[in-house]
Amino acid sequence: MTASPLCATISLCEDTDADQKKWIQHQFHTNTNGSSAPVCWLRTGSAGKMKIVEEPNAFGLNNPLLSHESRLQPKVNPSPVSGPAHLHPLAGKCFSFTESVYKYEFCPFHNVTQHEQIFRWNAYSGILGIWQEWEITNNTFTGMWMREGDTCGTKNRETKVTLICSTRSKVAQVSEPTTCTYSLTFETPLVCHPHSLLVYPILSERLQSEWDEAEQARYEELITEQGYNNLVKDIFEEAGLLKSQKVKIPLLEATTASDTHTSMHKCSEDLEKQREEIERLRALLIQHNIPFESEQNVSKNTVSTTVEDPHLRGDNGLL
């Protein structure tokens, strides 16, 4: 008979009495948390002594007997692979690191997970973050952000991965500087070259040109520092290095906006035609000496309105 992997298996002799069985059940029926765990009884022949066999629980989110719905469930899909091309081969690989009773697994451009390495029914296994975007400072990739991990109180777990030069690729350290926010150090020879983490060289020629123009505009003080930062951020988002926060306009709304623009243009054309017709009629009245109310008299009975410049005071319309 094969024992279930979900219980502590105890083999008894035929002559084990009820009191002995009750004592054994008391010892093995309660785990370290005080919660119940099943006990399997196997009865052997009358010969031989009582034999106790302990099997570790396979409880937890990684139990292969659990349904897929009970295992680790990501909230979002990872962002596409991006950044320096020489780092792209890391996609599809995973690197483990064990500290104390926790095993961490870092899968570049995919996710970071944590697994509690103890034998109890509710051992923790969870997602500490899913690949989202790069952190960029001064034209340099300074970290990989894994966000949208498992729920942690009122927010989701997230991990910042820092890349450090080393002779081989491995996870060197994991910590939790603030609650639910983790820091992971990944060592790899792929970042040892002094230019290996520069942003500008990996951009397309068009985006490099746009960045050059933004730099020139800032140098000539045609745009503010904030305007420059916004332009560069747009460039990084278009390159897929940062996750865009822009709200996409539905196709229906975009079509409506286009129709409105067309209607305004047509309205302007109609207005111009009406003005021409008024001038033609006024000329006819004057030609035949027919009196009519002048535009000046009409304006006295109408309320005049002032069209203000759409720009705020001090805003020259530049970024």
In a domain, 176, yes or no: yes
Bridge pairing between strands 158-165 and 181-188: parallel
Say whether pLDDT at 238 is over 70: yes
What mean pLDDT do residues 85-111 have? Answer: 95
How many structural domains comprise the chain?
A: 2
What mean pLDDT do residues 79-97 have? Answer: 96
Contact 148, 126 (CB under 8 A): no
pLDDT higher at 45 or 156 = 156
3-class secondary-structure state, position 126? strand
In a domain, 148, yes or no: yes
163 and 94 part of one domain: yes
Could you list the residue range(s) of the whole structural domain that residue 48 is in? 8-52
Length of the chain: 319
100 and 159 part of one domain: yes
* pLDDT tens-digit map of 289-314: 777 776 555 444 544 444 444 444 44
Lowest mean pLDDT among 114-128, 222-236, 277-291, 294-308: 294-308
Average pLDDT, the chain: 76
Query: What is the domain-level CATH number for residue 149?
Result: 2.70.130.10
E strand segments, 77-211: 95-99, 102-107, 111-116, 125-137, 140-147, 151-152, 155-156, 158-165, 170-178, 181-188
Place of tokens 């309105």: 305
In a domain, 241, yes or no: no
16 and 96 part of one domain: no
171 and 96 part of one domain: yes
- pLDDT-derived band of residue 21, with 50, 70 and 90 as boundaries? low
